[in-house]
Structure formats: structure tokens, C-alpha cells
Amino acid sequence: MISLLDIAERTQKGRKMPEDDWNMSLFRKIGELVKKYKIPNYTKDTPFLNLDDDLLERVFNAGVDLIVEHGVYCITTGRVVELSREEVLQAVRESPSEILVGTGKDARWMKQRKVEGKEKLNFCPGHHSPFTQDLAPIVVKNFAQIPRTDFIEGFNFTEVDGYEIFGAPIEAYASRKQISWMREGVRKAGRPGLAIVLYPITTRAEVLTAAIDPVDGLRSGDGILTSVLPDEKIEHDLLATAIACEDHGLWRISGSFSMMGGFCGGADGAIVEGIAKPLTAMICYRVYVNYTGVENVRTVSALSIPLQPLNWARSVVNQTLNRFTNIICMAWIIPTSGPGTETHLLETSLRTIEATINGANLYAPRHSRAQMNAGQTPVEGELMVEVSDATLAAGLDRKYGGEVLTSLAKKLEGRTPEPGFTIQECYDLVNHKPSPEFEKIYKDVKGQLTELGLSFP
Amino acid sequence: MTNGENQGALENLKDAILQYDTEAAKAAAQKVVDQKIDPKIAINEGVLSASTILHERFERGECFIPHLVMAGDAMEAAGYILEASIPKEQITSKKVVVIGTVEADLHSVGKNIVAMFFRSGGFEVHDLGVNVKASSFISKATDTNADIIALSSLLTTTRPYMREVIEELESVGLRDKFKVIVGGGPITREWAQEIGADGYGTDAYEGIEVAKQILGISGN
Amino acid sequence: MLSLLEIAERAQKGPKMDENAWNMGLFRAMNELTQKYGILYPDDQPVFNCDDSMADNAFEAAIEFLVDTGIYCLSTGRIIQLTRTEIMDLIKGMPKQYAVGEGKDVRILKQRRLEEKDELNHCPGHHAPFSEELAPLVIKSFAEIPTCDYLEGINFSEVDGREIFGLPMEVYAGKREASWMRQGVAKAGRPGLAVAYYPINTRAAVMIAPIAREFGLRPSDGILLSVLPDVKVEQDYITTAIVWEEYGGFKLNGNGSGYVGGFCGDLGGAIIEGIVAIITGWIVYRDIASWGAVWPSTGFMSGQKVPVNFSEDWGTSVWAQALHRHTNYILFISPPAISGPGCETQLLEVARRAVGIPINGANVHICRQGRAHMNASQSPLEQEWAFEVASAVMHNGLNRQTAGELVRKIGDELRTRTPEAPYDDIREFYDMVHHKPLPEYEKAYLRTKEVISALGLTFI
């Protein structure tokens, strides 16, 4: 597989291009590929989840073509990294479909799944969300305590040791502290070898790599979030971090979903970028675990609950990646309602069923517009596991699962996202359980899911 | 020329923009000039009125960021022709926005949307990209005689760099020269008030409206 | 004692100042302090300062500068301000000795007493560029010097066949440098020898990347974090200092110096700046040792004559004495040369500076041609020679007066010579396989030794 040093060199020597030109050129190229490979758009007659297996190979080829014919853009140098078809396909062939994360008794195999597979999914319950420093000791433990946790991601915060986190020096310090607290938290949960993924305090290379330390920081078996940017873009701080990680045996994870409505265009174009991005992450940052799929550029504003065509588009992307690559897909559930609410749990459940059927593992559910201490609780993660297992037990395939999802989606249509609560308001961190009110909501949602055909032990 | 013919010319102009067709927009603008329609009316009814429709389309998912770019190109091209026929002393210069994602933050999607909304809303936009230092914002704003500096952040930990821009403006005596609006995932109205920003938008729509209010621009 | 987080915050929130305004402000302040405290070269033009009150005044002037003017952070354009109490409290925290390295290769870096026979610490190399193919043998060669207490890294322009350009490659190169240093010292039978990372460049990510207990830099190793000229610090360095502080590695200031003719002004200003730079390195980065001196602002980059300026020697001695009398600081002095290695002139230049090392209570730091050239800036011989001369000075019981006379005589000898750089590659004058100079160079060394002996220094 092409080396990261080669990528680094190409970012330095590839042809120059203004970023605005790249953006519009990408839009045109994706449009051409959508036409060439006859990638359809979603209509009211399209099934909830993709059932067209012939589409998947066309989508894969479109994704490969995008990289081969258009390249990857380095925003640091304003240059295009060009890759040959053989290089891309070699990377597809040679990348592993499973990697070992964590150490000792807590080591886990992260695996690529099959579409409509029968195996239980890998799972990360949190964080990728902001929590205040005072909660750090107990929050991490709560999430790490969830038995099915395979790895856990760090969290963001705004103050450390009484200092505002502002400026590279304190950011680097905070980065080390994040992992130090994570390390302590997983130990307290009795999972000392649980894999920890650094969530960037900021994306400066020095801040990301400052946390590497086998004693109290990131060690072999841990990971760092190094995401390919929207519109097929990479960047030097993240590439430098990827290179630094290689020596230490740290794996990386990339946020590789595409954004419908952006420069990739509509759902059809977002599908193409949804294939290209994880391939780019693999080639340019050596990332084998990606959170994949399609989101909407408006999701972060959390003003409406996004449903179709995203569900269908995500299913096309995840099915394609699982069929034609070794990429280990993860579904990042980002509900637009806040934690402690019915809509939040319904959105979580819908996306979980969808992920399970499409073969995407389960990743850190979090309010799309997370505020301090109000991004997530352990309940959502635990519900994800329950719902996923129930989906497997029910033997839901794409067709029947699609019908269940259609019914579930109807419960969300027209509803406004609820703002939600802070973790302290809806969850008992000492005793690891939801507040009575939240528990009621949780049970009620499970009841609704039971009515739709899922049974829970 | 009859009112009907005038209205038709303005509709053609608007349609050209809504079809993202720069050449057609230029031709339609030229026709407006040839028909001696008041260019200021043409700018408002033919050009800027398209932006509301575009924003609604975007909200409905019927058009995407690149369409806003192309529409912006068409608007600029048409506007250039129309403005050439306005006596200089009557020209209201475009409001200028300098926008970017603050230092140490690489998120761009939200910022791109806001930038395109501003552009298609008739503003002159200078997008500095991501990971932008405070000094770069100020330098660009000064060079372009900007009206607004728009700051985006998507990491809770990069919010303080918004404050830095404001403090830097104060320290060089330029705070009163520019309006600062802020937005992004972790940004709240309270944060905006805390740091002394002039405005805050939950999303791109609100951002544009807030910007217009601050600048005293009415209607489109 | 103020924490580094506090310093980082002050660098972010202190009063703003334009850099040009800072520079000119520094100049004015140094001028005033020089006059106020009478930091002037005596009329009898001694080589080494013999007036303790001069050293005390210089120290006081430095403290006053720090209190009244502060430290400038280049990255933020802000001033780090400190009170007198904070500064004095910090100075009290300076370690008088520091353990570096591990296992059998642990060494204690110490503050030495002025004019005394305390054992010398020695960093014999590198801080110089060597190409990738020479790295394995070069590092081993220097690590084989028995008196080596720690070794500084090397710089290079290519790695794995690629040019080092752009942050990703620089990070990779930084890690490789640390890895080669580790292998090189192990090959010399000194696996625990402390390595001080010489930055590929000064980006924080590049300075943090080589940290790796197993195969890179360990907590028993160090890094170069230097104060910039004109009392300036910088955020990449502060970031690195904070990370290293937690990690446990030591930090070194490669610029505890003042530059005559720079923004500090004249000789008096350079002395004050040199003292300020040392204290600043400790306050802002927690540098536990430093090398420095008083230099001309043009440094040792080029020249048609070998520089012989006793006022700077005197300035260096005031600087050193001030620090010894009022702090615990561990000082190194580096005997640089305009001439390149492999010749008599350079060995004489090295000797001239090396005499002052024990007199000034300092330790021996890297000799190197001032204008370093790839693969041709240094060899182990100059280092061993510098140590030899410094040891001989102690053995001969020289003091400030008698050492000054010796320095004058060597200076007179140097005035008759033109700088030379006869070789382009270390392999042309030094046998790294067998750790010895090639015959021509050996002859030059022996001749130089005879010259110095004839001037009155008896070698052990």
C-alpha cells in the first residue's frame, strides 16, 4: 500500500489549485459520475433501505473513480494528491477487515460486518461530546462500565486545572489530561486495557500527539480521531499525526460520512463521496475504522429531524463498503433531540436498526448540537445495544427491516427536536441509572419498539 | 416600455439566477439596462429577490452549496452590469463580510453555508477558510473595508478564539469599525453575549437576518 | 513557584505590544540599566572580570529588567509580566544539579564553582547537520567519548530518500532522529546515555513527536528549548515545555546569551540580556541548564579574521559570575570557531574559549564551526581537545588573572592567522570506525598542543 510518506510528498508536490476551484470541480465531477453510473435519487417509491444489489457495484466504482480521476485536496498546501487506480485498488485489497484494539483482557477485535449479518456489532458508547472537568472522574467510568463497550472515545472540555483552555500550550496539556482521565476512568470501571480514542481538544498536530505516552497517555492499542474533511480534503496536522501514530501502534478513526447538500450535491452525489471518503481516509491517514454514511449539512443546526433520503443513502453507502471493501464501518448516531427525551431515543433506535441491518457497528450516540454536559448519557448506548441485538434476534432483513423502520420513522415525522437535559438532570452517575422520569421514557420507547416487532429479554 | 414588459425583464433576470446561469443572467441584466428599467429596482427585484427563493430551496434540499456558488456568480455578474448604469453618487456599495472558521478548528461545512447565503444575499464575501488566526481576520477586514466579521467554530475548545478576535480588534482600536457575528455547533446566544459579539445565529438563515438587522438593511 | 500553565496563560492574556515597539523598548531599557548599574568594560581591559560588585550589579540589572519590562511572547504579541517576588521565588527553584540518563549511564549535571577544580560536565556533540547515511556511525563516535554526559541530536535534510519538507515529513524525521540517537548510543555501549533532542524545526508537533519511551526520547532524555534573542519566547516552545514537563524530560536553553550590537545595545546590555535569557529560559520553559556567553551580534558565521575580542570574554565572565553568585544555575559554555574542523586554527580557536570554561564555573559544550556545513562541522577530536584544555586549566590551578594572560597569548597567536576550513566531509579528516583522527589532523592536533604548552599550559 502506498506509504504515508508518499502521501506527504504528494501533498507537497502535487499540482496547485485554489480551494474554490477544487470545490466546484468536485461538484461537477460527482455530477458526471452520478450520471455515468446511473446512481438514482431517492423517490417516494424507493424502499426505506436499499434493496438493489446491482447498484452497489456501480456506487463503488463511482467512488473509486472520484479519487482516481479527481484526486484528494490538501488544504494546507493547496495541492492535489493524485492516486492511480492501482494504488487505490491495492489499498482496498490490502487493508484489514479486522483490527485488534485495547490490551490484555480488554482487547477487542473491531470487525467489518456483513449486510444482514448475524453477528453482534462492535460498540463505542460515548463520548465525542463536551463534559466539564468536575464530571470527568465519574462520566468516563459510567460509559466504560457498559459491558459491551469495545472502545471509548474522549471528551471535550473548556477548562483544566482552573485555566481556560486557550492557546496551544494549554490545549496540549488538556489533551494529555483528557487521556489521563480516560485511563483512570476505564481502570475504575475494571477495564484497564480498554481502548481509548483521543477526541481532539483542537486539531493541531502537537495537541493530538501530546497525548501519546505508554504510561499515562495513549499507548499501543489506543486510537486518535483523524478525520478526512468534507469535499475530499486532507490536512497536514492530521497527516503528521497519522505518521506519528504509526511508530506507536496507535490506530485511527475517521469521520468519513458525506454531507448531502454540500459540494457533493444531493443524496446521489453524497453516496459517491460517502464511498470515496473512507477510502481516502485509509490511503492518506491509514484509517481502517470509519464512521460512515450520509448526513445532511443542516443536521448540526438541529432544527428538524432528518429522515429520508438519508436513511436510504446511508444504507447504500454502508452496504457498498461492506460488500466491496474491508472498511470497518461504524454508524454515528447523532440525534437532533437532546438526551432524556423520547424523540432522542426514537431517533437512536431508528438509526440503530438501520445500522445493524446495513452492517455498520455502533458508535457514540450524541446530540447533534451537543452542549456542555448535555450531549449524551449511557442510556442511549445501552439502548443501542439492546435494539441492535433485538434486530438480530428478529432476523430483520433489509425488506422487512425497512417496513419496521418506515413505521418507526412515522413516529418522528413532523416532530420538532426536543432540547433535552444535562446528564446530571436525567441520569444518576453514582448508581449508573437513569432518573425515574428518563427511565419511564426509556421503557416506553422499548414498548413502542416491541409493538413494532422487536422483543427484548 | 410597458409595466408588463418591465416585469418580464425582471423575471427573466431572476430566473437566470435561479437557473444558476451566469451568461443568461448577464444577458438579462443587459436587457434591463437597454430597456432603461431603474437598475436599483432591478437589483432588488431581479437579483436579491432570488436569494430568498434560493435559501428556501436549500432548506428543502432542492439545491446545495454549489448551486449557491453558481447563483452567487450569476448575481455578481448581473450586478456588475446593472451597477455600471447607476450614477456613481447613487451607488450603495455592497456590504462586505469576512468569514472563516477560527484558529485550530478545521470544520467548514456550516461556515460554507453561511458564506454562500451571504453571497447570494448580495454581500461581498471573503472566505478565509479554516484554522484562521485572529490577525488574519482583522487584516482581511481592514483590507476589504468589511462591515462584518463572521466567525464559526465547531469545537467547544476553539470558542475562545472568537473572543480573541474581538479582543484583538479592541486592542488595535478597530472594534467599532466592524460588526462581529458568531455561530457554530457549541456556540450559544449566551456565549455570544459573554464575549461581546454583535450578533449570533443558530443557523445560516438567522445569521443572515441578524447581519442585516445589525447593518440596518431591510427587505431582501 | 509559578506553574507553566500560569506562564502559558500570561502569554495569552498579557498586555499587547507590537514587536518593533518591544525591540526598541528593550534597547532603551538596556541602555538605561547599563548606565544605572555601571556595566562598563574597565579601562584596564581584563579578560576575566575580577570585580565581584560588577557581577552583582549585572544580576540586579537583569532582575530589574524582568520586573519592569517583562518577557515578550512572539506568537501572541503579548508581554508576560512577573513580580519581583515571583521571579526571585522562581530563581530559588533552579536545581543545582540534575540527573540525566539512566542505569549505568546516569550522569549528574552540576553547577560548578568559579575557578575551582570541580569535575566538568561535557556534551561533546552534535547540534550540527549530518546526512542520513552517516548518522549511525557519527552518533556512535561521539557517544564513545568517555567524558560524554549527554549527547545532542543531529539535523539532516533527507530521510528515507525523501526531502524533509512539510509538517508530516518533519514529524517523521524528528522521530527518526530520536531513534537513531537511541541506537547510536547503544552501539557505543552507552544505552542509557541521555540524548537531548535537537529540533528538526521548531514546530511543537515536531518537538513532541520524538517522545517514545521504548524507542525514542525517554523521561531521562532532554530537548533543546531556547529563548530567542531580545528576550522573546514562543508558543510552540511553551507547548513543548508543558508536554515535556509532564513527561519528565529535561530541557536546555541553547541561547543564554547576549549579543553585542543587537537590540540589547552595547556590551553592558549584552551582559544583562545574557543573564535575563538564562532566567527567562528557566521561568518560561523550565530549562535546567544552558549554554551561552556574550557574543558579537554577527556571531561566528563568517569573517576574514579570527575574532579576538577580550571585551566579550570579560562580558562572558561577568555573566557567568552573576549567575553563580545569585542562582544555582548549571552553565555550559560552547567554544565555537569560525574555522572548520580538521585544522590547527580551529583547535586554537577552541582552546582560547576552552580556557575560560572552568574559570567561569561552566561545563564544556559542543565545539562546532559557527557556520555549520553538512558532515563537516565537527569531529570528536575538537571536543576531546576542548575538554583536555579545560581540564589542564584546572590542573594548572589557573585563576582569573593567570588564565587571562594565557587567553591573551592564544589571542595573539590567533591574530596572525586567517580562518580556514580545509575539509568538506568528516571522513576526510577523521576515522569514525576507529575513533581517531586521520594522520594529517593528528599532526595538527599535536602541533596545537605544543603551541599551547609553549604558552604555559601543562597538559595532564
**Nearest partner of A312 among A173, A409, A431, judged by Cα:** A409
Give the orientation angle of helix A310-324 with respect to helix A398-412, to 10 degrees: 150
Q: Please answer yes or no on whether A301 and B159 come within 8 Å at the CB atom.
A: no
**For residue range C371-398, what is the model confidence (pLDDT) as tens digits?**
788 899 899 999 999 999 999 999 999 9
Average pLDDT value over all residues in chain B: 89
Q: Do both B185 and B125 map to the same domain?
A: yes
What is the ipTM, given to two decimal places?
Answer: 0.81
Q: Please give the pLDDT value at position A438.
A: 97
Neighbours of chain A (3+ CB pairs under 8 A): B, C
Residues in A touching C171 (Cβ below 8 Å): 205, 209, 240-241, 243-244
Contact A158 B185 (CB under 8 A): no
Burial-class residue A228 by CB neighbours within 10 Å (0-12, 13-18, 19+). Answer: buried
The grid cell for A220 is 499501543
Same domain, B71 and B121: no
C270 SS3 class: helix
Check residue A103 and give its pLDDT.
95
Range of the domain at B32: 3-90
Provide the 10 A C-beta neighbour count for residue A445.
Answer: 22
Quick check: A381 and A146 in contact, CB under 8 A? yes
Distances, alpha carbon B180 to alpha carbons A301, B203, C240, in Å? 20, 15, 33
CATH number at residue B21: 1.10.1240.10
Grid coordinates given for B74: 450569476
DSSP letters along A72-109, please?
Answer: EEETTTTEEEP--HHHHHHHHHHS-SEEEES-GGG-EE
CA-based nearest distance C323→chain A, Å: 29
**Segment A27-35 mean pLDDT:** 98
Contact B42, B29 (CB under 8 A): yes
Q: Which among A162, A145, A165 is positioned nearest to A207, based on CA atoms?
A: A165
Using the structure block, give the residue that is written with the C-alpha cell 592564544: C410
The H or E element containing residue C250 is strand C250-253
Nearest C-alpha of chain A: how many angstroms from B198?
20
Q: Are C249 and C219 in contact (CB under 8 A)?
A: yes
Who's near C196: CB < 8 A, 6+ residues apart?
C123, C150, C151, C152, C153, C221, C222, C223, C224, C250, C252
- Per-residue pLDDT at C298: 65
pLDDT digits (tens, 9 = 90+) for A237-277: 999 999 999 989 999 999 999 999 999 999 999 999 999 99
Q: Is B134 part of any domain?
A: yes
> To probe the interface with B, which of A21, A173, A203, A294 has the most B CB atoms within 10 Å?
A203
Contacts with B66 from chain A: Cβ below 8 Å: 23-24, 27, 263, 265
Q: Does A249 contact C at CB distance below 8 Å?
A: no
- Whether residue B72 has pLDDT greater than 60: yes
User: Hey, are the CB atoms on B186 and A371 less than 8 Å from each other?
Assistant: yes
Is residue B107 domain-shared with residue B171, that is, in the same domain?
A: yes
* Residue A423 pLDDT greater than 50, yes or no: yes
Element (H, E) at B148: strand B148-152
A77 at interface of C, judged by CB pairs closer than 8 A = yes
Residues in chain A with CB shorter than 8 Å from the CB of B109 are 230, 259, 262, 297, 300
Q: What is the 3-state secondary structure (H, E, C) of A335-375?
A: CCCCCCCHHHHHHHHHHHHHHHHHCCEEECCCCCCCCCCCC
- Domain end residue (candidates: B90, B109, B138): B90
- B-chain residues near A372 (CB < 8 A): 156, 186
Nearest CA in chain A to C237: A169
pLDDT > 90? residue A14: yes
Among C132, C217, C242, C251, which would you mutate to test the A interface (most chain A Cβ atoms within 10 Å of its Cβ)? C242
Please give, rounded to a whole number of angstroms, the shortest distance from the CA of C41 to a CA of chain A. 41
Q: Among all chains, which residue has been given the C-alpha cell 458508535?
A: A363
Candidates C209, C195, C231; CA nearest to C19 is C231
- Nearest CB among A261, A300, A370 relative to B61 is that of A261
Residues B74 and B17 in one domain: yes
Same-domain status, B105 and B208: yes
Is the N-terminal amide bond of C124 cis, ω within 30° of 0?
no
Q: How far is A282 from chain C (nearest CA, A)?
A: 16
The Cα A83–Cα A81 span in angstroms is 7
Q: Where are the beta strands (DSSP E) in C279-347?
A: 287-291, 294-296, 330-333
Low-confidence ranges of chain C (pLDDT < 70): 297-304
Which of A10 and B66 is assigned the larger pLDDT?
A10
Check residue A126 and give its pLDDT: 87
Pairwise CA distance, residues A360 & A291, whole Å: 8
Q: Which helix (H) or strand (E) holds C72?
A: strand C71-73
In a domain, B56, yes or no: yes
* pLDDT above 60: residue B220: no
B184 inside domain: yes
Radius of gyration of chain A (CA): 21
Report field, pTM of the whole predicted structure over 0.95:
no
Query: How near does any CA of chain B get to the CA of A156, in Å?
Result: 7
Nearest to A206 among C175, C239, C246 (CB): C239
DSSP state of C112: P
Q: How far apart are CA A156 and CA A266, in angstroms?
A: 32
Residue B220 resides in a domain: no
Please indicate whether, in this complex, the C-beta atoms of A167 and C12 are within 8 angstroms of each other: yes
Mutate: best of B56, B57, B58, B64, partner A, most A CBs <10 A: B64
Contact C238 A168 (CB under 8 A): yes
Does residue B77 form part of some domain? yes
Kindly state the helix (H) or strand (E) to which residue C109 belongs, with its residue range: strand C107-110
Please state, in angstroms and rounded to a whole number, the distance separating the CA atoms of residues C262 and C260. Answer: 6
Residue B1 has pLDDT above 60, yes or no: no
Let me know if C143 is exposed, middle or buried by CB neighbors in 10 A (0-12, 13-18, 19+).
buried
Cross-chain CB nearest to A262 (options B65, B105, B131) = B65
Beta carbons within 10 angstroms of residue B144's beta carbon? 14
Q: CB of A213 within 8 Å of any CB in chain C?
A: yes
* CATH code of B165's domain: 3.40.50.280
Q: Are residues B130 and B24 in the same domain?
A: no
pLDDT in tens, C313-367: 999 999 999 999 999 999 999 988 889 999 999 999 999 999 999 999 999 999 8
Q: With 0-12 CB in 10 A as exposed, 13-18 as middle and 19+ as buried, what is A20? A: exposed
Total domains, chain B? 2
Pair B24, B64 in one domain: yes
Task: Say if A168 is an interface residue toward chain C (CB within 8 Å).
Answer: yes
- Domain membership flag for residue B160: yes
Kindly identify which residue of chain A lies nearest to residue C216, measuring between CA atoms: A247
Closest in B129, B161, B164 to A19, CB measured: B129
Between A64-68, A105-109, C28-32, C159-163, the lowest mean confidence (pLDDT) is in C159-163
CA of B188 vs chain A CAs: smallest distance (Å): 9
CB contact under 8 A, A265 and B64: yes
Chain B residue nearest residue A259, CA to CA = B109
Do residue B55 and residue B149 come from a single domain?
A: no
Q: Which three cell numbers stand for residue A280?
A: 481516502
Residue with cell 465525542: A128
Please report how many Cα atoms fall inside a 13 Å half-sphere around the Cα of residue C253, on the Cβ side. 34
State chain C's mean pLDDT as an integer: 93
Which residues fall within 8 angstroms of residue A105, CB to CB, at 6 or more apart? A193
- Based on the domain organization, do B74 and B127 belong to the same domain? no
B202·A303 Cβ contact <8 A: yes
DSSP string covering A137-203: HHHHHHHHTSTT--EEE--B-SEETTEE--SHHHHHHHHHHHHHHHHHHHHHTT-TT-EEEEPPSS-
d(CA A294, CA A316): 9
The neighbour count for residue C192, using CB atoms within 10 Å, is: 17
Task: Name every residue whose Cβ is closer than 8 Å to that of residue C32 and which is 6 or more positions away in sequence.
Answer: none
- Grid cell digits, residue A41: 435519487
- Taking one residue from A and the other from B, the number of pairs with CB-CB distance under 8 angstroms is 105
- Residues B58 and B147 both lie in one domain: no
The answer to whether the Cβ–Cβ distance between A240 and C167 falls below 8 Å is yes
C-alpha cell at A346: 426514537
Identify the domain boundary among B32, B65, B90: B90
Last residue of a domain, one of B58, B90, B122: B90
Whole-angstrom distance, CA of residue A366 vs CA of residue A285: 25
pLDDT greater than 50 at residue A182: yes
Q: Which of B20, B65, B208 to mutate: most A Cβ within 10 Å?
A: B65
pLDDT of C301 = 60
| More confident call, B63 vs A115 | A115
Question: Distance between CA atoms of B144 and C352, rounded to whole angstroms?
Answer: 59
C-alpha to C-alpha distance for C31 and C27, rounded to whole angstroms:
6
Supply the angle between the helices C84-92 and C267-280 in degrees, to the nearest 10.
Answer: 70
Asked if residue B126 has a cis previous peptide bond (ω within 30° of 0), the answer is: no
CA gap C183, C179 in Å, rounded = 6
Helices (H), C188-266: 204-208, 235-247
Contact (CB<8Å) B106/A235:
yes
Domain check: are B105 and B56 in the same one?
Answer: no
From A433, A424, A441, A309, select the one nearest A382 (Cα to Cα). Answer: A433
Distance to chain A for C226, nearest Cα, Å: 16
CA C235 to chain CA mean position, Å: 21
Write the pLDDT tens digit of every residue in B89-122.
Answer: 776 778 999 999 999 888 888 888 889 889 888 8
DSSP state of A42: P
Largest CA distance in chain C: 60
The β-bridge relationship of strands A163-164 and C78-80 is unpaired
CB atoms within 10 A of CB C59: 25
Q: pLDDT tens-digit profile of B162-218?
A: 999 999 999 889 999 999 999 988 888 999 999 999 999 988 888 999 999 999 886
Burial grade of B219 (CB within 10 A; 0-12, 13-18, 19 or more): exposed
Minimal Cα–Cα distance from B171 to chain A, Å? Answer: 18
Give the residue from chain A lying closest to B102, CA to CA.
A202
Residue type at B109 in one-letter notation: V
pLDDT value at position C152?
A: 96
C265 SS3 class: coil
Residue of A nearest to B66 (CA): A263
Chain C partners within 8 Å of A7 (Cβ): 168
Are both B103 and B209 inside the same structural domain? yes
Strands C330-333 and C363-364: parallel
